[in-house]
Chain A
């Protein structure tokens, strides 16, 4: 049985995200080189490396929301590309939705993922099918909501969201990009997964792994 989804989980989630992004850095750069400006992997790695630095040096945040807010502020100031304001807004809205809860229930988790998705949509003004992060976050939010309604545990809600996000990212491959730098390429954007959708799946998968590693 996975541990509870508390501040320690949120911290593990962010550390795991930083680790995975560092591992996948080159792959994300390659994806973004194909259809963008080749900076997504580097920018995100820089951002989450800065997050690690803050987690190591500053006082530990007291709630999951405080962890996510610190991540949001750090990403916005350090990422540089579109992922900065997009993920920054996502984590900030996610943090706001949690309030001062110390432990996150399944339904709250679904609300949190939906809030993150709404933040990305509000900031980037993309719709499903535009070949963006939204194509990972929308199925993730929907799957999380369904799982929570059906009585799943928090860890199961996360797993459902991550699985849907990955499927959504894979499904961006045949799409024509309609937002961001990739949209300038038109039909040449076909045949590559969207790097933002892929990194979104990585982030949600890291949340699942962090939940599995919890203390009993």
Chain B
């Protein structure tokens, strides 16, 4: 079981689209669209108490539900629904203050990895913070395509210190897209190491995806901390195996 998600948007199409996008990276997570409103004359722009209520019911498993919303009245509708829930159900629902697209993707990845309710919530709410301009800077400035400090292919360890680095070429056709980014970030999160990939935090799915690294491009990794060498090995293995995908 995993934490369920409900996507509340004024637009039915946005809600369905966000579910589609997030589900790509989280096939086992129940993600329910609750977009638009329908009073019998067809769906139109707005949010519906009944759709949100039903969405929470559908997404609710043993591990709770995180609700993501778009503009103002979607928040109000969701809050109103929460007020109506039975206390024990209400206790397992969190309303995320998050950007709906980035938050949903980040939350879905966390939930897929088996994270508990509060961690999924934190992932959703942190998704935009992780895209702060300072963090975007390294690849906005072009570092994504040409970074790397001439590290020898296959990687070099620095036995003297805890800092290690390496540079690896992506062999697979799809490059570092959503699924491998999620797998890699999750694996690195478990290690006690600061890891950057082409200058961005390699534990952030969103930032890894934002690099847009394609086949034949290089991933330059720097890691420090107690698990630095293991972190480098993890990246090497996943990159060189093409993330288990065809080249």
Interface positions of A (Cβ within 8 A of B): 39, 43, 46, 50, 76-82, 84-86, 88-89, 123-124, 179-181
Complex contact B77–A85 (CB within 8 A): yes
User: In the complex, what residue of chain A is closest to B47 when comparing beta carbons?
Assistant: A80
Shortest distance between the CB of A121 and any CB in chain B (Å): 12
Given A84-B46, A88-B49: A76 touches B72 (CB 8 Å cut-off): no
Complex contact A180–B44 (CB within 8 A): no
Partner of B73, one of A50, A77, A84: A84
Complex contact B47–A123 (CB within 8 A): no
Complex contact B45–A39 (CB within 8 A): yes
Q: Enumerate chain A residues within 8 angstroms of B76, measured Cβ to Cβ.
A: 82, 84-86, 123-124
Q: How far is the CA of A89 from the CA of B79 in the complex (A)?
A: 10
Given A78-B39, A85-B80: A43 touches B49 (CB 8 Å cut-off): no
Q: How far is the CA of A181 from the CA of B146 in the complex (A)?
A: 43
Complex contact B79–A123 (CB within 8 A): yes
Q: How far is the CA of A188 from the CA of B72 in the complex (A)?
A: 20
Q: How far is the CA of A88 from the CA of B80 in the complex (A)?
A: 9
Apart from A85-B49, A181-B72: 7 A-B pairs, beta carbons within 8 A: A50-B39, A79-B37, A79-B46, A80-B48, A82-B73, A89-B80, A123-B80
Q: List 28 A-B contacts (CB under 8 A).
A: A43-B46, A46-B39, A76-B77, A76-B80, A77-B48, A77-B49, A78-B39, A79-B46, A80-B37, A80-B44, A80-B46, A80-B47, A80-B48, A81-B73, A82-B72, A82-B73, A82-B76, A84-B47, A84-B77, A85-B49, A85-B77, A85-B79, A86-B76, A88-B80, A89-B80, A123-B76, A123-B79, A123-B80
Shortest distance between the CB of A149 and any CB in chain B (Å): 31
List CB contacts (< 8 Å) of B138-188 with chain A: none
B71 contacts A by Cβ under 8 Å: yes
List CB contacts (< 8 Å) of B46-100 with chain A: 46-50, 71-73, 76-77, 79-80, 83
User: In the complex, what residue of chain A is closest to B83 when comparing beta carbons?
Assistant: A89
